[in-house]
């Protein structure tokens, strides 16, 4: 059964902290760069009361549809944009907006994307090996796995998955695809399991977790988009405006941390004041209620 857009589509992570840090007010302009099903946007709109304007961006059309349903009562104040936050300045300019009072990035994939087997993100369920967040054209995980050289595959697994068995996994993939193309998530998960020695598989997370994370990042160019999105967001913020970023793995968090640090040293036109010396993490209660929140790290900054 499909999840209900209003509740089970995606539970927003650290939503009280997000709302408190952005502190939306009537008349303000807020951009949710990763709208998902609109859980965080709903929190911002409810807190701000009438008159706040929210721009909600997502590259996934399914997310936009779910958010439209969830945010129906605020439809007059929300602008839905099916697009990539790496184009943030163009998106905002096309809407005639000059500055924003608060900008949110809640990175990664939604529960909906992970749970829908046919989107191809999950190593737990069998589905087509796709992993594209947006349904736009561009190489899927299947294209990468079946066309790149063993060295290129290993490099993706090392760089984006920090996978110590990357060379062996790549070798097993190439051997297997010489017989028949690898087309499903189940096939890929089995190849990874076979490539990692049993002893190394016994402890820790699912053996295919790192491989799937790495491929997802490569397919969606997540780190390049994050660099581009953050830079543009900082420029768009008005003085006193706040930027909040929730990341889910160390590669993303490193980019957020270094961008914030870089922008907080010279007190130029686009400089930031860091509000979170250390990242905020979910409390135990939230992790128990929503285990997918366990790796979340929230960093926030204010524009000078």
**Residue 108 in the binding site for ligand SAM (CB under 6 A):** yes
Of 14, 19, 31, 37, the one binding ligand SAM (CB under 6 A) is 37
For the packed helices 39-48 and 15-22, what is the interaxial angle rounded to 10 degrees?
40
Minimum CB–partner distance for residue 105 and ligand SAM (Å): 8
> Is 91 or 129 the residue whose CB approaches ligand SAM more closely?
91
Q: What is the DSSP letter of 240?
A: E
Residue located via tokens 């900008």: 103
Span near ligand SAM by CB under 6 A; candidates 94-102, 104-112, 182-190, 256-264:
104-112
Q: Of 29, 30, 48, 60, which one interacts with ligand SAM (CB under 6 A)?
A: 60
Does 22 sit near ligand SAM (CB under 6 A)?
A: no
Q: Which stretch binds ligand SAM (CB under 6 A): 106-114, 157-165, 257-265, 268-276?
A: 106-114
- Residues 83-102, interacting with ligand SAM (CB under 6 A): 84-86
Cα–Cα dist 192/16, whole Å:
39
Distance CA 260, CA 287 (A): 26
- Which among 126, 120, 156 is positioned nearest to 141, based on CA atoms? 120
Does 74 bind ligand SAM (CB under 6 A)? Our answer is no
Of 182 and 245, which CB lies nearer to ligand SAM in the complex structure? 245
Stretch that binds ligand SAM, among 29-37, 166-174, 182-190, 257-265 (CB under 6 A): 29-37
Task: Determine which residue in the list 57, 156, 215, 218 makes contact with ligand SAM, applying CB under 6 A.
Answer: 57
Question: Based on CB atoms, which residue is closest to ligand SAM, 223 or 274?
Answer: 223
Question: Could you give the CA distance from residue 227 to residue 238 in angstroms, rounded to a whole number?
Answer: 19
Print burial letters for 154-191: b (CB count within 10 Å at least 16), e (below 16).
Answer: bbbbbebbebebbbbbbebbbebbeeeebbbbbbbbbb
Q: From the CB of 16, what's the least distance to ligand SAM, in Å? A: 13
Cβ closer to ligand SAM: 38 or 207? 38
Q: 257-288: string of b/e by CB count within 10 Å (b at 16+)? A: bebbeebeeeeeeeebeeebeebbbbeeebbe
Q: Does 63 engage in binding with ligand SAM (CB under 6 A)?
A: yes
DSSP state of 280: B
Nearer residue to ligand SAM within complex by CB, 12 or 28:
12
Residues 111-140 that bind ligand SAM (CB under 6 A): 133
Q: Could you tell me which of 258, 245, 250, 254 has the C-alpha nearest to residue 210?
A: 250
Contact of 131 with 120, CB cutoff 8 Å:
yes
| Binder among 101, 106, 115, 286 for ligand SAM (CB under 6 A) | 106
Among 70, 67, 71, 29, smallest CA distance to 48 is for 29
Residue 110 is a binding residue for ligand SAM (CB under 6 A): yes
**What is the C-alpha separation between 255 and 264, in angstroms, rounded?**
14
Least CB distance to ligand SAM at residue 38 (A): 6
Residues in the chain: 304
Instruction: Please report the sign of the dihedral spanned by the C-alpha atoms of residue 98, residue 37, residue 205, residue 186.
Output: negative
- Give the CB-nearest residue to ligand SAM: 36
List interacting residues with ligand SAM (CB under 6 A). 10, 12, 34, 36-40, 57-60, 63, 84-86, 106, 108-110, 133, 225
């Amino acid at each position: 059964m499909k999840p209900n857009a209003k509740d089970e589509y995606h539970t927003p992570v650290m939503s009280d902290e997000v709302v408190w840090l952005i502190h939306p007010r009537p008349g303000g302009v807020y951009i949710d760069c990763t709208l998902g099903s609109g859980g965080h946007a709903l929190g911002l709109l409810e807190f701000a009361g009438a008159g706040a304007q929210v721009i909600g961006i997502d590259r996934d059309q399914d997310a936009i549809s779910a958010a439209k349903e969830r945010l129906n009562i605020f439809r007059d104040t929300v602008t839905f944009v099916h697009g990539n936050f790496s184009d943030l300045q163009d998106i905002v300019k096309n809407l005639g907006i000059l500055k924003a009072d608060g900008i949110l990035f809640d990175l990664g994939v939604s529960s909906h994307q992970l749970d829908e087997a046919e989107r191809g993100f999950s190593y737990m369920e069998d589905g087509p090996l796709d992993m594209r967040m947006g349904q736009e054209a561009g190489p899927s995980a299947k294209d990468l796995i079946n066309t790149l050289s063993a060295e290129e595959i290993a490099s993706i697994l090392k760089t984006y998955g920090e996978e110590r068995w990357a060379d062996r996994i790549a070798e097993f993939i190439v051997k297997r695809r010489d017989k028949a193309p690898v087309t499903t998530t189940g096939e890929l998960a089995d190849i990874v399991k076979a490539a990692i020695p049993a002893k190394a598989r016994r402890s820790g997370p699912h053996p295919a977790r790192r491989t799937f994370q790495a491929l997802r990042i490569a397919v969606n160019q997540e780190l390049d988009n994050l660099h581009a999105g953050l830079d543009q967001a900082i420029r768009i913020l008005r003085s006193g405006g706040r930027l909040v970023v929730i990341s889910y793995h160390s590669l993303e968090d490193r980019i957020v941390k270094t961008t914030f640090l870089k922008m907080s040293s010279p007190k130029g036109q686009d400089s930031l004041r860091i509000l979170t010396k250390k990242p905020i993490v979910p409390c135990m209660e939230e992790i128990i209620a929503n285990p997918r929140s366990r790796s979340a790290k929230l960093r926030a900054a204010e524009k000078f």
